[in-house]
Structure 1
């Protein structure tokens, strides 16, 4: 009996000691935290002002440098100002740096920037007003130099964005009632940009034309003038697959087929979206894999619709496995008297374009969402061909990378060609 009581007491004492130790450690942490928080006592004394302010004006922005006040409890410096349209703006800079940037201005003009120092008690210094004179926002130069030309099915755009600012290019066109509606928005911060609008050509669009309006805006609501003009979209049609045929690329060989249900004609049978409706090469090919097609006619191509093997309702192959992610499209108008052996340096294949497939969701390998399924599996991606590319009859796809990382086979659900058939 005594032995049992002794054991119980030791057990209680042991756990009581652990509890007291934990409480002591917790109190120590709280105490240290309170000391840290109380490092600067709350007061009502305003900090000093910033001084020796200097301005470096930029395009639609300005950098302001200054000397900080010497207050030990200084927390940050804030700048308040108005944009061209009257929008109130505020920018804050830490007490550990002596500069801040004010952004969002439109056309060149003088602006007042109010600088205020703020301490840890929330006290604000007397304001200091600095005048800045930023140059025109970059969108105006981009707009003035942007080239807009008639293209297959619509328009082609080329622009230079030297400052790499975020821009939105909005293109509108009349609907059937004559009301201007958005045809497409381009979002970009690339130094060199290009874009295309398709789907607006008719049998008479090359002669009668179609109205398009273009405007550029930025994140801050600044907007250029509107370029409203008549353009002449080149008529494009889907090229009939009635003469399509397999073409074996010289110097590469026959990529074959995986089985009888995934043979070449599946590439152009006008059907996709099921697991078995695709072309699949044999396994064990050398990389980069080369696929060849004979369109059966000379074609001035505008684009190729690329549909991925989806895996049916489970979508297990979409943006995965052997679906091409990056490839080059080559072409030739003839096979007579030209060097098409790809092992020969300086062969006569003509590079039409290089394409990189984009997964809208950005989800990791093995995961897709509705946007991915709609684009890659149902609507297809547009592989755009520049308008200055020559007319061709034979096509070579050089697969540089697959979504699943495999290198010895590929599979594609469908390739649909668009453009204009040329007269031989």
Structure 2
């Protein structure tokens, strides 16, 4: 017992001595001496900003070099670079007028050096670059805008549009946020006649309080199409060929090929989808699975404009979980073809990659999946195909492994839009 007490006492003594040896000197002797400011300061003009170069001060507890500016609205923006760097970027300027930037050093005790003021003249602003890149194009019951954001800064695009609706003027504003280098956004479901024009103005803003002037795109006329009736459609049997291409196999397990054109989407509790059972090309296992084709006899000649596809869900009877949407067994990339009667050959129209939504809840995935994925036959220049009686959907890849696997077995519904040829 005595030995135990002795050991405990010795350990406490050692701990006390060690604690006194390794106490942070800054706690007992707080540093109140500010560091020196950066020297030899120069800059290089950037798009909407400046890259500031400097020599860091010789201060052993230097933490960072900082820069800040105040915009025309009185809001201050600050930027920082660690002590081992010799430059920092200041961004967010809305025009090319001279700007004053305050530069200073900061040490670990939060002491701030004297401020050095530098006047910089930035290049064209980020919002100006985005605004000048915007293109607007009419589409079917909609229009879309494309833009480039080479700096990948967070921006907002304000789209103001108005039109006459049966004698009543309708005005709307849609706001799109993005930091992608290339972007496309739609204003859809307008359902206006082709002779009704839409007036459009667009403005760009950033997170630094800058706004571009509204760019007036004038008046545009939208295109119109119709949903093709499925009552006259016919699906060839599996492995029957048209133009040398076999109809795919979709009757595996609970799936049936005919479910693709019955107007009913899979909601998890109704099992309404096709299933290739990993032998989708012809139905023979030796021929493999993908790519498999769905060939549709439309029953008459049509000019096609758009396609709406629905995936297999199988997310449970309550229909509130994601299930298989945008993942397992569903088609992520497909091609579209029409039969060219004159050439007696299949003509490739386009390839479409279904984007996977990001940052969505389970219920949001369900809502997006039930709405389906809409794609244009000619996505960059919306228009109709030449007249055709036969349409071909060619499933290329699944969503799995970033769209690289050929293990898509399922599809729930195909809906087509266009105009009947009289």
1:124 to 2:112 alignment: yes
Unaligned runs of 5+ in 1: 1-8, 341-348, 363-367
Pair 317,398 (structure 1): closer, same or farther in 2 beyond 3 Å:
same
In structure 1, the residue matched to 2:256 is 263
The 3-state SS of whatever aligns with 1:122 is coil
1:351 matched to 2:358? The reply is no
Among candidates 327, 333, 336, match of residue 326 of structure 1: 333
1:412 and 2:411 are equivalent in the alignment: yes
Partner of residue 42, structure 1: 30
The 3 A distance-change label for structure 1 pair 260 and 41 is closer
- Cα separation, partners in 2 of 1:119 and 1:265, compared to 1, 3 Å: same
Q: Which residue, 216, 231, 234 being the options, matches 2:223?
A: 234
2:331 touches 2:408 (CA, 8 Å); kept in 1? no
Root-mean-square deviation (Å): 3.3
Where does residue 421 of structure 2 map in the other structure?
423
Q: Following superposition of structure 1 onto structure 2, how do residues 22-421 of structure 1 map, counting pairs within 5 Å?
A: 34-35=23-24, 38=26, 41-174=29-162, 178=169, 180-183=171-174, 185=176, 187-190=178-181, 192-202=182-192, 204=193, 206-228=194-216, 229-247=218-236, 248=241, 250-259=243-252, 262-272=255-265, 273=267, 274-285=269-280, 286=288, 287-311=290-314, 312-313=316-317, 315=321, 316-334=323-341, 337-340=343-346, 349-361=347-359, 369-376=362-369, 378-386=370-378, 387-388=382-383, 390-391=385-386, 392-403=388-399, 407=406, 410-418=409-417, 420-421=418-419
Q: How many positions carry a matched residue from both structures? A: 393
Which structure dedicates a bigger proportion of its chain to helix?
A: 1
Q: Does the 8 Å CA contact 2:398/2:407 hold for their aligned counterparts?
A: no
Matched position secondary structure for 2:328: coil
Change beyond 3 A, Cα 1:296–1:32:
farther
Query: What's the secondary structure of 1:141's corresponding residue?
Result: helix
- TM-score (structure 2 length as normaliser): 0.81
What SS does the aligned partner of 1:262 have? Answer: coil
TM-score by length of 1: 0.80
Q: Secondary structure at the match of 2:397?
A: strand
In 1, the alpha carbon distance for the partners of 2:408 and 2:55 equals 64
Find the aligned partners of 1:59 and 1:320 in 2 and give their Cα distance: 40
Other structure's SS at 1:220 match: coil
Deviation at 1:24, TM superposition (A): 8.7
Structure 1 pair 246–183 and aligned structure 2 pair: CA distance change class (3 A): farther
Q: Which residue of 1 aligns with 2:283?
A: none
Shift of 1:150: 1.8
Q: CA deviation at 1:101?
A: 0.9
Of 171-180 and 216-225, more deviation after overlay is shown by: 171-180
Q: Which moved more, 1:107-116 or 1:148-157?
A: 148-157
Q: CA–CA distance in 1 between the matches of 2:408 and 2:85?
A: 55
Q: Offset of 1:110 from its aligned partner?
A: 0.6
- Identify the range of structure 1 (394-403 vs 123-132) with the bigger mean alpha-carbon deviation: 394-403
Q: 1:22 to 1:124 in 2, by over 3 A?
A: same
Per-residue deviation, 1:41: 4.5
Report the Cα distance in structure 1 between the residues aligned to 2:391 and 2:15, rounded to whole angstroms.
Answer: 73
Q: Per the alignment, in what secondary structure is the counterpart of residue 243 of structure 1?
A: coil
Secondary structure of the residue that 1:370 maps to in structure 2?
A: helix
